[in-house]
Structure 1
Amino acid sequence: MNNAIPMALRPAARAAHQWNTVTSAFARRYCNTPPSCFKLASSSPVISAIQSRSSARPIRSFSTTPRIAAKVDDSSLTHQDIIPPQQGLPQRKRTVQIGHLPGGRVPDGEIRSIFGGRVSGHEGNSVLRILHHRRTSGSLADYGVDNLGDKYHVNRKQAIKALDWLRNKFPIDEARAAEAWAEKEANRIAYELWLADPENDSKYKDPARVYREQQKKEAEEREQEAEQQERSQYGILRTGKSQFEIAIQEKRRQRLEEITKKAEEKEARAIEEEKMLATGEWVRTPGGTQLMKPGQDTYVDVFGREQVSRRKEMMEMYQKKANTEFKDPEDMLSKTTLAQRLYPMTAFVFVVCLLSFGFGHWYEPPADEYRLWPDLSPSTATLAGILISNAFVCIAWRWTPFWPIMTRYFMHVPGYPRAVQSVLNVFSHVQYEHLFGNMMMLALVGPVAHDLVDRGVFMGTYVSAGAVGTLVSLYWANIGKGNITAHSVGASAAIWGISALYCLLTDQESIKIPFVKDMEVGFYPKMLLAAFVVWEILMARRKGPSTMDHASHFGGLATGVGVAGYLHATGFHQRRAANLQEEAGVEAKTVDVGKLVKEEAKEVKDAVAKAVKKE
């Protein structure tokens, strides 16, 4: 029991006197140990005394205190010693468990060579086990070779011979063991003296000790009251405490028990914190209320308590989950074959295009009572839905627990693709600037294109153009000269498809400049589309690093051109209805962007005002 009590609670003079007494007692005793053992031992006063006497005197009993031996058998051997009273302490008996010899049971022939013919193999093995236990525990310096018990028929000379046999057979550092035994005994005696000292009242201030003693006292009082009630019963009347008083005592007991439990938990936490601080991996917070790792931040919550911020740790954890397990591009490509990378997304995009064609061909606008936003025009409602979806996904990128899901399904990686990425990455934007630029372009071309072809063709072209653009990017990275590890997100391919569809289908020839009265400029949509294509080719051929996925842009453009060609071949111009500008009295050949924006803003404002009025 090393450092059994705090130094502040020990009676210094009495403990120091007891330590000197124990040390002197051990210094007067010795053990016969090989010289190699003493070279390994420390140079304490106890060991110095043992070393100085070990070569000059034979081994003998180190204590005149009578000892007794417990019942011995080969399976479980115990040893009981009567501990002498120390300065008024009561006499008590201590039992220790003794294990087997390192080499197992000693043969009977070897026992006879050690002890002679009078000692049986069972008795000899028991004596060897007791002596070896004293050597390993360090108690040989206190117990010696005597006090083995009369039942073993072993005299002192035989015990010394058995000890020499053990030292030759199983050499150990007896000096070091004796030193540890001395320290342990000194601490035990000092602790018992501290408990027995009537002048020391510090031990009575321990909340746990006070609570246990109080509970024991109250239990005895309850037993006495119960006996008294049994003796003093007259009819239905009883003497003693009432049920109300008993209930109050029970509540008080529960409260004290809870206080004691909290005190013990607080003490256990303090000990655990000291161990964590000793490792060097933890430091205290500026307020000293908690522990944190170096580099962590702290904040004060709404209740004024100091808290450790784990934002950085959580971000690192989710970022690690979001990262792939590949070390390099070669490792990534080794996990899949070229067919495994191309065929699943190809089949998925083909199905998406078929579904988009069916949606555009058979879609019928719902009645106003079934619409989610009946006060908005179909074009405004469609664009609002696309904008809200993109904004929601962009915000999801800011929440770190979503990172593993977002990188797995909302980001296209040509080296390790997933089929669903071809559609979901069209609605995904990591940066706000990217989202704002794409949605601004969609807000300019989207309303006129939607009014031109209606919602079915518009949404079918938007989704299929984005999916085909992702597929073209996949083929270019795996078969062409694209970057196999680059990731791509955004609605650029879908917007290019809508722009190509509008430029090839519209008959408008002029654009009215917003905020300028009666000013128009020529508008040649097919030439504008050709200019866009040439500009995209020049940007793709430019040397140097680029953050634009030109392959997906060309895929979106090709999809828009294909849809426009199909509509021209099926007589689209003869079947389309009047658009929003015609209903507003604007010439069909003029694109009035300002009027379109004003009409959409007015619709949204009226819808919001109507919703607020209903509430």
Structure 2
Amino acid sequence: MSLFRPACAAFARRLCTAQPHLEHTSQSPLLSLVLKHRALQPRCRPFTTTRRYLAQVVDTPSTPTVPHVPKRTVRIGPLPEGRVNDGTIRRIFGAGMSATDGNNVLRILHHRRTAGSLADYGVDNLGKQYTHVDRAMAIKGLEWLRERYPIDEARAAEDWAEKEANRIQYELWLADPETESKYKDPARAYREQMEKEEEERHQQERDERKIGILHVGKSQFERNIEEKRRERLDEITRVAEEKEQKERDMEAKLESGEWVRTPTGTQLMKPGQTTYVDIFGREQVSRRKEEAEKYQKLSNTEFSSPEEMLAKTTLAQRLYPMSAFVLFTVILSYGFAHFYLPPSPSYRLFPDVSPTLATIGALLLANGVVAIAWRAMPLWPFMTRYFMHVPGYPRAIQAVLNVFSHVQYEHFLANMMVLCLVGPVCHDLVGRGTFLGTYMSAGAVGTLVSLYWANLGRGNICAHSVGASAAIWGISALYLLLTDQETLKIPFVKDQEVSFWPKMLLVAFIAMEIRTVFRKKSQNDHASHFGGMLVGISTAGYIRATGALGRKEGLPEGVQANAGVDSKTVDVGAIAKEGIKELKDSLTKNSK
């Protein structure tokens, strides 16, 4: 038996490798190999490291006999994905096989694969009630299972072979308990050894005699050494027992058929899960899908239908709070635009950066932080409650916060690209106060128009609205109605310019938006776009009518002016180069 267990693993792997040609004999090949090896070798005393059995010492008759071993009950669990449909059963076994018998045959075969007994039993002897299932049909079912639920059959066969070796060894000892082959695992053997040494030590202490001031026996130093050694071995034994218990738990889960081993075989996972290697090189089962489902459930509202959502609040409760909040936001924005004065360079955080670049950079940073926050799943309940506008169950603060919110990276990049194109030229034209006032008012009014359209018009009451589109439409309309620039320089092409008609461009944008609403099904919040345009047009009209822009003197030069571009020309490339240059100079100066 000392040579049996290494051969067991190789024998099991060889049986699993020849999968399509499983043979069945009247006697188990594993039992035949054990009995043959035992007949050739003298009896010895091996140890095993897996399952442990408790044997009772009884009086052994002169002629040992193999005791009666009760028949083991095997519990076969369901398939990982549940019952297989009738069409699949007919495709595997043919029309003559019923759906119930076909599912039971697949369950038996899959249990043998996961338990490792396929290497010993093969595909034959499925049971008395399945004698009509011939070998060819069983092999077809086995091939289907291997394709649908791939597992490491060789590893399972090795574990099965080791368990069978332990069982047979234990039965042989029951037949002849006077031999030295008493079944022990390392933990029990060590524990018995420690108990024996402890008893000897106590006996030695009792036999110690004092001779003057000397003591016969071990010194205190030697006792401390033994105590440390005993504690260390106790810890090793505890770890070994925990590992054995973990392996037993894993085997029990594998037998149920609901779990499979990970690629390295160190853990279990359910079919469909994935694994990854952490920074310490350990294999971990990915639970991102389960975490996403958990936080998605926490983020959803408690309503099961639009009618239930509308029944929770009245029309006045949905419209009035946000209307009052948006009105307050517009008044604050007007006050900021009217009374804002550029600060002295000594009071600025980055005095070497133009106000235009600082304002656009702050907006990009705010939108970027919120976009990154959407990637953290624990924040989903908070983000959906305050940074996402739902017309059927609104909160007033959503009118402003959803303007900085972008869930998808494509949406974020598209809006920020337009902001980088239109923002600098509009900021240079009207200054920081009017620019930020229009930006915030357009976003808030756009959200309010979307709320009214969903509750009083034909909008979707359950839609989720996010993004800075309304605010960007507002500053775009403001710039196109106020600018006097007539030419547009083509970026990356030297000395190439085209005519620029800003008011006609705004009309084209509005026409395109109207066409999209009536001729194309789109997921864009067009009501908020029109609300943002309305704010930009109203601000431009007010400035034209009152001459507020002309009365503001001392506006700092913008990025385009610093780049030396003609005031009648729009040069996006020069604006970008000047912005990068200012940022580099500021970082270099601060580092010094």
Q: Are the counterparts in 1 of residues 57 and 177 from structure 2 also a CA contact under 8 Å?
A: no
What residue is the counterpart of 1:383 in the other structure? 360
Matched, 1:214 2:193: yes
Matched, 1:556 2:532: yes
What residue is the counterpart of 1:285 in the other structure? 262
Residue 341 of structure 1: CA displacement? Answer: 1.9
Q: Are the counterparts in 2 of residues 468 and 556 from structure 1 also a CA contact under 8 Å?
A: yes
Residue 13 of structure 1: CA displacement? Answer: 10
Correspondence for 2:374 among 385, 388, 397: 397
Note the alpha carbon deviations across 1:206-262, whole angstroms, 9 max, x for none: 333333333333433443444455x41624x43322222111101111111112111
What residue is the counterpart of 1:543 in the other structure? 519
Counterpart of 2:182, as a letter, is S
Q: Are the counterparts in 1 of residues 561 and 567 from structure 2 also a CA contact under 8 Å?
A: yes
Q: Are the counterparts in 2 of residues 413 and 488 from structure 1 also a CA contact under 8 Å?
A: yes
Q: Are the counterparts in 2 of residues 282 and 292 from structure 1 also a CA contact under 8 Å?
A: yes
What residue is the counterpart of 1:38 in the other structure? none
What residue is the counterpart of 1:5 in the other structure? 53
User: What TM-score does the superposition give when structure 1 sets the normalisation length?
Assistant: 0.63
**Superposition CA RMSD, Å:** 3.5
Residue 496 of structure 1: CA displacement? Answer: 0.9
Counterpart of 2:536, as a letter, is G
Counterpart of 2:478, as a letter, is L
Counterpart of 1:557, as a letter, is M
Which structure ranks higher in relative contact order (CA pairs < 8 Å, sequence separation ≥ 6)?
2
Correspondence for 2:332 among 343, 346, 355: 355
Counterpart of 1:357, as a letter, is Y
Distance 1:388 1:226, change over 3 A: same
Residues in 2 aligned to 1:462 and 1:264: alpha-carbon distance in whole angstroms: 67
Residues in 2 aligned to 1:348 and 1:436: alpha-carbon distance in whole angstroms: 29
Gaps in structure 1 of 5+ consecutive residues: 23-189
Counterpart of 1:503, as a letter, is L
Distance 1:590 1:274, change over 3 A: closer
Residues in 1 aligned to 2:57 and 2:306: alpha-carbon distance in whole angstroms: 67
Correspondence for 2:202 among 223, 230, 233: 223
What residue is the counterpart of 1:408 in the other structure? 385
Residue 281 of structure 1: CA displacement? Answer: 1.8
Matched, 1:345 2:393: no
Counterpart of 2:190, as a letter, is Y
What residue is the counterpart of 2:457 in the other structure? 480
Counterpart of 1:261, as a letter, is R
What residue is the counterpart of 2:583 in the other structure? 604
Residues in 2 aligned to 1:7 and 1:435: alpha-carbon distance in whole angstroms: 70
Residue 478 of structure 1: CA displacement? Answer: 0.8
Secondary structure, aligned partner of 1:314? helix
Note the alpha carbon deviations across 1:509-563, whole angstroms, 9 max, x for none: 44344455555544443443334333323332x2341122111011111222233
Aligned residues: 438
Matched, 1:503 2:480: yes
What residue is the counterpart of 1:141 in the other structure? none
Q: Are the counterparts in 2 of residues 422 and 470 from structure 1 also a CA contact under 8 Å?
A: yes
Residues in 2 aligned to 1:534 and 1:218: alpha-carbon distance in whole angstroms: 96
Q: Are the counterparts in 1 of residues 563 and 575 from structure 2 also a CA contact under 8 Å?
A: no
Residues in 2 aligned to 1:8 and 1:371: alpha-carbon distance in whole angstroms: 87
Residues in 1 aligned to 2:188 and 2:245: alpha-carbon distance in whole angstroms: 16
Superposition pairs of residues 188-587 of structure 1, within 5 angstroms: 197-203=177-183, 205-228=184-207, 231-232=209-210, 234-235=212-213, 237-301=214-278, 304-515=281-492, 520-540=497-517, 542-567=518-543, 568-569=545-546, 571-577=548-554, 579-580=557-558, 581-582=560-561, 586-587=565-566
Of residues 4-13 and 586-595 in structure 1, the stretch that sits farther from structure 2 once superposed is 4-13
Q: Are the counterparts in 2 of residues 446 and 498 from structure 1 also a CA contact under 8 Å?
A: yes
Note the alpha carbon deviations across 1:5-51, whole angstroms, 9 max, x for none: 3799999998856659x9xxxxxxxxxxxxxxxxxxxxxxxxxxxxx
Q: Are the counterparts in 2 of residues 382 and 455 from structure 1 also a CA contact under 8 Å?
A: yes
Residues in 2 aligned to 1:399 and 1:15: alpha-carbon distance in whole angstroms: 69
Note the alpha carbon deviations across 1:43-91, whole angstroms, 9 max, x for none: xxxxxxxxxxxxxxxxxxxxxxxxxxxxxxxxxxxxxxxxxxxxxxxxx
Q: Are the counterparts in 1 of residues 565 and 574 from structure 2 also a CA contact under 8 Å?
A: no
Q: Are the counterparts in 1 of residues 563 and 574 from structure 2 also a CA contact under 8 Å?
A: no
Residues in 1 aligned to 2:528 and 2:445: alpha-carbon distance in whole angstroms: 7
Residues in 1 aligned to 2:212 and 2:174: alpha-carbon distance in whole angstroms: 50
Correspondence for 1:588 among 555, 567, 592: 567
Of residues 247-256 and 338-347 in structure 1, the stretch that sits farther from structure 2 once superposed is 338-347
Residues in 2 aligned to 1:18 and 1:503: alpha-carbon distance in whole angstroms: 99
Residues in 1 aligned to 2:392 and 2:278: alpha-carbon distance in whole angstroms: 45
Residue 455 of structure 1: CA displacement? Answer: 1.7
Residues in 2 aligned to 1:573 and 1:219: alpha-carbon distance in whole angstroms: 101
Note the alpha carbon deviations across 1:107-164, whole angstroms, 9 max, x for none: xxxxxxxxxxxxxxxxxxxxxxxxxxxxxxxxxxxxxxxxxxxxxxxxxxxxxxxxxx
Residues in 2 aligned to 1:432 and 1:555: alpha-carbon distance in whole angstroms: 24
Q: Are the counterparts in 1 of residues 441 and 471 from structure 2 also a CA contact under 8 Å?
A: yes
Residues in 1 aligned to 2:277 and 2:57: alpha-carbon distance in whole angstroms: 38
Secondary structure, aligned partner of 1:307? strand
Residue 198 of structure 1: CA displacement? Answer: 4.5
Counterpart of 1:268, as a letter, is Q
Q: Among the aligned pairs, what percent are the same residue?
A: 60
Counterpart of 1:563, as a letter, is T
Superposition pairs of residues 168-207 of structure 1, within 5 angstroms: 197-203=177-183, 205-207=184-186
Residues in 1 aligned to 2:553 and 2:410: alpha-carbon distance in whole angstroms: 36
Residues in 2 aligned to 1:401 and 1:5: alpha-carbon distance in whole angstroms: 47
Residue 293 of structure 1: CA displacement? Answer: 0.5
Q: Are the counterparts in 2 of residues 463 and 494 from structure 1 also a CA contact under 8 Å?
A: yes
Residues in 2 aligned to 1:348 and 1:279: alpha-carbon distance in whole angstroms: 59
Residues in 1 aligned to 2:580 and 2:211: alpha-carbon distance in whole angstroms: 92
Secondary structure, aligned partner of 2:570? strand
Residue 447 of structure 1: CA displacement? Answer: 0.8
Residues in 1 aligned to 2:515 and 2:441: alpha-carbon distance in whole angstroms: 25
